[in-house]
């Protein structure tokens, strides 16, 4: 018997030197160059390991046939089953009847009437594909023919019908899917929706990945009652330390929809370019600096905010911004110094031209990090920044700021008391350029000027720590006294020094007089603070509490400032409470009070928060000084299959529901099914360039057939927009 086994192995190996075949069996018989093996047959061929009840090998043509209960392993992840198989060693052909393949990495199985394979290509006859239990699959995809590449692990199905249990739900003439995670060109799962206002929504994304350093995503969409458009994203990795992406889009409204909804624009378009490099100087210029350099770019442009909102069908991500900011930052950093330049470009979408908009092109920054002298008793640093504020129509300016903080510090009574004195030297120089707009001359005149001052800060503090058996308590309290020193002003600063308080208020910063004046008065004040912490044995924070009180010695607006209280209490491992409040003595009321309590358990997460704010300014027809906003969330995981979620955002001051969401998700190994009802107060931009809102109601349906469909963070594959009583949706 051993001689027969060895003889068969040698003969088979001689047929094709590169394709040695080893056959093992309990009994063998040879007749006229036909070798028959019976009982526990094992065949090893290339990366295949096959077992069968019977094998017949024809030495004349190099064909090996296997019969009965065939099991085959290809590599570590692919398993094949069948009742009949034929291997042609000379032609590298393989046939299975019937055919069953399990790819263990993706948990996808394919069953067909038969298969024929040559080299890396496998053709499969009529069959079924699924990722569920083969005995009773929840979902399956039937096909008339299929082909599979064993090297690329790419599977093509033709005339595919998707069934949920035995109910047909979808047909496609072609479906392609990768059984591994390699990026490949192909169609992504579509996004589908329906709305009584916008009509049927369909988005079919095409993913192109022809190289390992870039990919391209094309997302054409149609909204039958509203219009159509195309969004695209190009992503690239140009080195190990740098990457970027370019997103662009265009959407055209239908005439009827544009007029009926009084939209600001009929066409919406824009782009956004992002790029970052974490060692740009050494890479681009071939240097070998030891410091860290970096480049960050975020460049954006669009004609209106609907460009963003139409890029997705999830209205909870809608934006109402009318101000665009493009940035480019370049820096070089060492342990001692930091050098950088920043470019900022602003665009206001509510005006026709931005020639009067101030741009910061560029800002140049140098910072020398904190250093010490006198055995760490003297600390100093240096910072200088020059900003070039430019516009094509109107006054421009170059403003340079210098900061030199100096600190003397010491500890007394065995470090029980810490004392410090800070002298902060500050100077600003402004050089004006450009002419006034002749069509709208400013009432303000600008003269170059210099401002310089120093101010003093005296600090005293102490920190006490006591360790207990299972916890540690830390108390920190102290006082800071601040007062202005000497100062000098000339030119612009001398002329406009009375505007310091006026321009420091956010409500006045759009006034032309405050465009370049950013000097705030230094108040003479005292700050008292107290905080204490409680840590458990493992160093986790259990309790944190802080009180802070400012007292101003100014003649105007002096007296006690607002009292701030902050509390963070980890009540149990699951329950946390946080509070931050400000009390105004003049109004005898809270100007801000934020509370949040949360519970995070193994199966239940609950969050409830409330924000109250009062500016104490007069109420008008368009302005309310008070804000009272509540947010609540609940997430409950009933078991490994069922989970539920709830969210409510409510404006208590306006008695207005901002958003509401409730739904569930059912998860199995091979599929997910979810249903969500959502209400959302959606912002829009009207024809007058003003922010408005529309209240939407949606039903989101999630059907995810795993593993061919993955959770990519999108809310749903199908959405239905419900009409409201006003018929505006």
Which residues in the chain come in under a pLDDT of 70?
A: 1-19, 314-320, 436-444, 682-694, 711-717, 724-729
Angstrom distances, CA of residue 405 to CA of 345, 381, 402, 454: 31, 6, 10, 9
**Secondary-structure percent of the chain, ordered helix, strand, coil, rounded to 5:** 5, 60, 30
CA gap 71, 80 in Å, rounded: 6
Of 282, 297, 209, 195, which is closest to residue 239 (Cα–Cα)? Answer: 282
| Domain extents in the chain | 1-74, 98-186, 370-380+393-422+443-542
Phi, psi of 160 (to 5 degrees): -90, 135
Q: Write out the DSSP string of 454-482.
A: EEEEEEEEEEEEEE-SSEEEEEEEEEEEE
pLDDT (tens digit, 9 = 90+) per residue, 439-498?
A: 555 556 788 999 999 999 999 999 999 999 899 999 999 999 999 999 999 999 998 888
Residue 317, pLDDT score:
63
Contact 270, 303 (CB under 8 A): yes
Of 202, 112, 197, which is closest to residue 155 (Cα–Cα)? Answer: 112
pLDDT (tens digit, 9 = 90+) per residue, 477-493?
A: 999 999 999 999 999 99
Contact 106, 179 (CB under 8 A): yes
Work out the burial of residue 643: count CB atoms within 10 Å of its CB; fewer than 13 is exposed, 13-18 middle, 19 or more buried: middle
Residue 441, pLDDT score:
53
Place of tokens 């007089």: 513
**Both structure tokens of 539:** 């160093």
The H-or-E segment that residue 612 falls in is strand 604-614
Residue 445, pLDDT score:
74
pTM of the predicted model as reported, rounded to 2 decimal places? 0.78
Contact 59, 77 (CB under 8 A): no
Residue 188, pLDDT score:
81
CA gap 153, 583 in Å, rounded: 65
Length, in residues, of the chain:
729
Phi, psi of 707 (to 5 degrees): -95, 5
């Amino acid at each position: 018997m051993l001689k027969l086994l060895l003889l068969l192995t040698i003969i088979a190996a001689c047929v094709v030197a590169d394709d040695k075949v080893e056959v093992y069996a309990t009994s063998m018989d040879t007749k006229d160059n036909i070798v028959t093996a019976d009982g526990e047959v094992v065949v090893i061929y290339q990366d295949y390991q096959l077992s069968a009840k019977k094998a017949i090998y024809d030495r004349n043509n190099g064909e090996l046939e296997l019969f009965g209960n065939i099991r085959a392993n290809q590599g570590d992840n692919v398993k094949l089953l069948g009742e009949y198989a034929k291997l042609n060693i000379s032609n590298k052909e393989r046939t299975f009847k019937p055919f069953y393949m399990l790819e263990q990495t993706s948990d996808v199985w394919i069953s067909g009437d038969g298969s024929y394979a040559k080299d890396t290509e496998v053709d499969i006859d009529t069959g079924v594909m699924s990722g569920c239990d083969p005995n009773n699959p929840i979902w399956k995809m039937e096909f008339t023919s299929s082909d599979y590449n064993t090297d690329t692990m790419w599977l093509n199905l033709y005339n595919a019908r998707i069934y949920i249990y035995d109910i047909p739900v979808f047909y496609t003439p072609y479906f392609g899917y990768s059984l591994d995670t390699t990026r490949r060109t192909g169609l992504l799962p579509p996004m589908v929706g329906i709305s009584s206002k916008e009509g049927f929504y369909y988005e079919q994304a095409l993913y192109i990945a022809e190289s390992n350093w870039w990919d391209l995503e094309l997302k054409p969409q149609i909204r039958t009652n509203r219009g159509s458009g195309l969004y695209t994203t190009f992503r690239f990795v140009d080195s190990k330390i740098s990457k970027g992406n370019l997103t662009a889009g265009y959407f055209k409204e239908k005439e009827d929809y544009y007029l009926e909804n009084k939209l600001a624009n009929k066409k919406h378009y824009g782009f956004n370019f992002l790029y970052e490099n974490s060692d740009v100087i050494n890479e681009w210029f071939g240097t070998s600096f030891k410091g860290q350099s970096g480049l960050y770019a975020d460049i954006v442009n669009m004609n209106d905010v609907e460009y963003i909102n139409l890029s997705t069908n999830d209205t909870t991500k809608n934006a109402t911004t009318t101000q665009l900011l493009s940035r480019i930052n370049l820096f070089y950093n060492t342990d001692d110094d930091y050098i950088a330049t920043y470019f900022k470009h602003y665009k206001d979408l509510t005006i026709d031209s931005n020639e009067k908009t101030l741009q910061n092109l560029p800002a140049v920054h140098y910072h020398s990090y904190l250093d010490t002298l006198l055995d760490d008793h003297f600390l100093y640093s240096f910072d200088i920044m020059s900003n070039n504020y430019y516009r094509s129509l109107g006054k421009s300016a170059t403003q340079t700021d210098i900061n030199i903080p100096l600190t003397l510090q010491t500890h007394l009574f065995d470090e029980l008391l810490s004392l410090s004195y800070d002298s902060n030297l500050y100077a600003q120089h402004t050089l004006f350029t450009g002419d006034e707009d002749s069509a709208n001359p400013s009432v303000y005149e600008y003269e170059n000027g210099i401002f310089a001052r120093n101010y003093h800060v005296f600090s005293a503090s102490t920190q006490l720590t006591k360790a207990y058996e299972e916890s540690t308590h830390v108390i920190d309290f102290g006082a800071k006294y601040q007062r202005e020193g000497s100062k000098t002003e000339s030119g612009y600063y001398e002329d406009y020094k009375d505007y310091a308080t006026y321009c420091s208020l956010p409500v006045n910063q759009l006034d032309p007089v405050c465009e370049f004046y950013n000097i705030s008065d230094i108040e003479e004040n005292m700050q008292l603070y107290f905080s204490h912490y409680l840590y458990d044995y493992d160093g986790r924070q259990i309790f944190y509490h802080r009180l802070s009180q400012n007292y101003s010695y100014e003649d105007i607006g002096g007296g006690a400032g607002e009292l701030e209280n902050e509390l963070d209490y980890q009540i149990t491992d699951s329950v946390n409470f946080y509070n931050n409040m400000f009390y105004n003595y003049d109004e005898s009321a809270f100007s801000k009070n934020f509370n949040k309590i949360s519970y995070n358990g193994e199966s239940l997460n609950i969050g409830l928060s409330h924000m109250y704010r009062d500016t104490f300014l007069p109420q008008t027809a368009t302005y309310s000084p008070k804000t009272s906003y509540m947010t609540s969330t609940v997430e409950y995981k009933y078991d490994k299959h069922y989970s539920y979620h709830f969210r409510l955002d409510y404006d208590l001051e306006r008695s207005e529901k901002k958003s509401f969401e409730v739904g569930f998700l059912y998860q199995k190994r091979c599929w997910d099914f979810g249903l969500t009802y959502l209400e959302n107060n959606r912002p829009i931009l009207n024809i007058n360039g003003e922010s408005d809102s529309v209240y939407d109601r949606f039903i989101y349906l999630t059907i995810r057939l795993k593993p061919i469909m993955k959770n990519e963070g999108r809310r749903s594959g199908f959405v239905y927009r419900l009409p409201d009583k006003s018929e505006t949706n």
